[in-house]
Structure 1
């Protein structure tokens, strides 16, 4: 009989590289592997501490002189759609949602390429080929779903979201959609629909990834009511977005050793 002992996660830091959100900044990430029988426990615990999943890795920003990136989530019980969001829901009433297992298709990849070429042609994912796309979708050690949105008249694939199911919510890992409907607000609609997915499942939160004050491409997240951001080790209700400071400072972050020491890990022996 083979016996194994649970091993504490090991944390590492990436080399600095240009920040994709704030011009002139350098980003660095703290990360750990997500694997083994306790992967879901670890993912649930670290997601509640500002980490995000990418395939079999959990990461969060750990930049030397900047702490602008804030993990964001919607408290479903406190969310009320605005007038413009209600219009977005109405405009997309002709879409049907379908949840599938995390299995990549050529149809999804074709939509993904059109989305990147239209909106993020100079981004870090611009050169992703079909095999890398399949890895993004399929390499997951936890409970993950692919949420597809299709036109009910044509059955065309309009949008896709790679979604993790956490113990306390749903986490929108990555979403993409057709660039052919620029006035429909599809990105916002997919978030609004995930609020309904979480509500129907009795889950309290929708995790949105990072909100970055000063980054125009991230500004839309601050327009959702019930938004919380992870600041100083706690989730706090979003106040006036303009009050958050994106200024860099050499004392913005604690040393890596202190950051790791302050991470609360689940009991992986159970």
Structure 2
């Protein structure tokens, strides 16, 4: 059936959540789009998503940051969130198919080391 994912980054780096800590956030590129059920299962097991990549904190003894899930069906926007939405009504989002190339990986890796 072939490989489902590839680790594209797995190096210690400054923690994006807790100042002064070191984190390890292995990024895994998904070769195939996950089914809604598989994606939901990944999130329920602690994965987080960045575009087409999944990651899960792997920081050894540190368990300070925990992923949370917000039940969309019962979510209510706060007043400040409503203001932000209203202020940014002119913002549009466009997306296309994701592709993985060695050139894009090299660019991403350079970005990670800035």
Equivalent in 46, 49, 55 of residue 45 of structure 2: 49
Structure of larger gyration radius: 1
Structure 2 length-normalised TM: 0.56
What is aligned with 2:72? 76
Structure 1 length-normalised TM: 0.28
Equivalent in 34, 39, 44 of residue 40 of structure 1: 34
Is the 1:14–1:29 Cα contact (8 Å) retained in structure 2? yes
What is the root-mean-square deviation of aligned Cα atoms in Å?
Answer: 3.7
Is the 2:6–2:30 Cα contact (8 Å) retained in structure 1? no
Note closer, same or farther for the CA distance 1:30–1:98 as it changes in structure 2 (3 Å cut). closer
1 CA distance for matches of 2:107 and 2:34?
23
Equivalent in 16, 32, 42 of residue 20 of structure 1: 16
Structure 1: give runs of 5+ residues left out of the alignment. Answer: 104-130, 134-270
Note closer, same or farther for the CA distance 1:132–1:6 as it changes in structure 2 (3 Å cut). closer
Note closer, same or farther for the CA distance 1:53–1:83 as it changes in structure 2 (3 Å cut). closer
Q: Between Structure 1 and Structure 2, how many residues are aligned?
A: 98
What is aligned with 1:139? none
Residue 66 of structure 1, CA deviation: 1.0
Structure 1 segments (4+ residues) deviating >6 Å: 10-13
Equivalent in 60, 67, 75 of residue 64 of structure 1: 60
What is aligned with 1:95? 89
**SS of the counterpart of 1:40?**
coil
Is the 1:34–1:43 Cα contact (8 Å) retained in structure 2? no
